[in-house]
Structure 1
Amino acid sequence: MEGLQRMLDAIEYVESNLDNELQINDIAACAYMSKFHFQRMFSMLTGFSISEYIRNRRITVAAQELVHSESKVIEVAMKYGYESPESFAKAFRRIHGISPTAARKNSQSLKAYPKLSFQIQLKGDVEMDYKIVEKEPFTVIGKSIRTSTISGENHRKIADFWVRSNQDGFAEELSKNCGSLGLLGICLEFDEKQENIRYLIGAEKNVDQIPDDWEKATIPGASWAVFPVHGAMPDAMPKVWERIFSEWFPATGYEHADGPELEVYLSDKDPSSADYYSEIWIPIKK
């Protein structure tokens, strides 16, 4: 589990530099990972982005310093990377519900986001099947949404997107033109901090004409790690995602290749059935 130990090293680097400028590239380098892979690993293991973690830890440490020292608000704000007392006060109020001045004057309860720690466990009691597939670039068609990953907003919005797509007939119409991969749920694009994503419900393009409100996107050619998922949706899929990032990546030495991720729904059976079959496809590099 050397990969997870390296994540701990990266956290120690963050904690030692909360009052300095932090660059994601430098943090990822502490873990000997690419920037994209580190950010994806971090968010999948913790449920929030590394940038969100840094913001929360800085405002926690800043609050303690503000309450227990004679430093001025502007001094604390500048020390922890805020451009002005106003931006610091806004972030402070968002987390703690009160202003920095009120926190200093009164014995108010303040929230604290503790330092993160990974519990490293060697599981190995359940085998994890996978295969490596080489696939040329291909075009997908469908509809997409953009959503934030902060506070799990993406999970809620993507679930609602699937419900709407099934209710309004879009998924049924799309399934009539599916390629060999069936229906796809695609994490198509990530922003630089991986706090916003574009998610597409689609299928491989095998028709010339598509409806005006549908869109096209190209999935780059890649080496894909393909993981089988057995079980009812939506519960079965998250369990495999968790094992991929907490067990498979640290154990194999592969990295995420900074491309779209696919959830592949191949089965014609009821997705809520216990024997439903689907797959997760992740672009990888050694």
Structure 2
Amino acid sequence: MDWLARMNRAMDYIEMNLTGEIELTEVARKACCSSHQFQRMFSFITNVTLAEYIRRRRLTLAALELQNSDASKVIDIALKYGYESPVSFARAFQLLHGVTPAMARKDGIALKAYPRLSFLITIKGAEAMNYRIETKEAFQVFGIEGVFHTNGGGEAPHTPAQLWQQCHANGEVERLAASAGDFPSFVSQDLYKVHAVCSYRKTESDTFPYMLCAFKSESSKTNGYSTTTIPAQTWAIFPSEPFTWDTFDDTIETLYRRFFSEWLPAAGYEQVDGMELEIYGGRDGLNFVELWFAVRKIA
């Protein structure tokens, strides 16, 4: 089953369960990936989180029922679409539609409708994507690990970005760089010492691991750090254009979005367990990042 079919199968499941409980593990199973991987793909492709999409769809259907059924009580509609009380339902409804549920039943009231999403391949601009496919033997990295919830909850830091901020502030990034040692032979000498790796081991279904890491070599000093082995993989590698740090967020977000929305649906590859590396470097006074996605050919 190809990428588009799997993503649309996941959307079918969501649509059929808008009035019940939506299990994110089942959504991911329909798409043949992890929960974290699916939610990341979804948000990069659609510019909205999966949780927000589900909320909008439920409140769209609730508005239609309010307009088309005078007999249904507001509390019944609230419970049907997953709200525990009329108060929480009214608050969410007004935030989305700009009116209360009671007002939604009046003639001429303007409401918002968010249609069901489907995934298609579309022809976009002719801007080229630079990438290369490389097969690498197993290697090891070591560093500072965090395990994060897909919804951003749990103990602080709540996100990988916050982990970076914390480790820059307390000097851990500099200490990790000093412990890195020599580069292995398979990476460029233009790289910085500290990078990041994501989804390199199994955690709970609603969490994912992320590590600020350095490549391990014979000269590395790994005491006190987490170490993990990255197995032999085929990597789809996407380099950025040179950038200054003030444009970093836009640069890396564009790389991720184009990978998920343009390259992956049409390339004949799929991700392997969502594993990816963020590799940082610099030359001529500017920075660059390479995103390494573990992939395999779709049979």
Task: Verify same fold: TM over 0.5.
Answer: yes
Sort the Cα spacing of 1:25 and 1:187 in 2 relative to 1 into closer, same or farther, 3 A.
closer
Q: Could you tell me which residue of structure 1 aligns to residue 101 of structure 2?
A: 103
Sort the Cα spacing of 1:71 and 1:217 in 2 relative to 1 into closer, same or farther, 3 A.
farther
What's the TM-score, normalizing by structure 2?
0.68
Secondary structure of the residue aligned to 2:254 is helix
Q: Could you tell me which residue of structure 2 aligns to residue 192 of structure 1?
A: 205
RMSD, aligned CA = 3.9
Q: Could you tell me which residue of structure 2 aligns to residue 258 of structure 1?
A: 273
Instruction: Report how far residue 201 of structure 1 moved.
Output: 2.0
Letter in 2 for 1:144: G
Q: Could you tell me which residue of structure 2 aligns to residue 153 of structure 1?
A: none
Residue 282, structure 1, aligned to residue 293, structure 2: yes
Instruction: Report how far residue 264 of structure 1 moved.
Output: 0.7
Residue 218, structure 1, aligned to residue 238, structure 2: no
Instruction: Report how far residue 186 of structure 1 moved.
Output: 2.8
Instruction: Report how far residue 142 of structure 1 moved.
Output: 2.0
Q: Could you tell me which residue of structure 1 aligns to residue 143 of structure 2?
A: 141
Give the gaps of 5 or more residues in structure 2. Answer: 153-157, 188-192
Letter in 1 for 2:231: G
Instruction: Report how far residue 131 of structure 1 moved.
Output: 1.8
Instruction: Report how far residue 6 of structure 1 moved.
Output: 6.1
CA distance in 2, matches of 1:28, 1:168: 36
Instruction: Report how far residue 263 of structure 1 moved.
Output: 0.4
Instruction: Report how far residue 280 of structure 1 moved.
Output: 0.8
CA distance in 2, matches of 1:20, 1:147: 23
Instruction: Report how far residue 251 of structure 1 moved.
Output: 1.7
Sort the Cα spacing of 1:18 and 1:268 in 2 relative to 1 into closer, same or farther, 3 A.
same
Higher helix share: 1
Instruction: Report how far residue 216 of structure 1 moved.
Output: 0.7
Residue 207, structure 1, aligned to residue 217, structure 2: no
Q: Could you tell me which residue of structure 1 aligns to residue 190 of structure 2?
A: none
Instruction: Report how far residue 77 of structure 1 moved.
Output: 3.8
Give the gaps of 5 or more residues in structure 1. Answer: 151-155
The one-character-per-residue Cα deviations of 1:176-204 (angstroms, maximum 9, x if unpaired) are 222446311233477635xx554332223
CA contact (8 A) 1:48 1:149 kept: no
CA distance in 1, matches of 2:147, 2:29: 32
CA distance in 1, matches of 2:172, 2:102: 55
CA distance in 2, matches of 1:40, 1:164: 23
What's the TM-score, normalizing by structure 1?
0.71
Letter in 2 for 1:192: S
Letter in 2 for 1:204: F
Sort the Cα spacing of 1:252 and 1:105 in 2 relative to 1 into closer, same or farther, 3 A.
closer
CA contact (8 A) 2:277 2:293 kept: yes
**Seq. identity, %:** 30
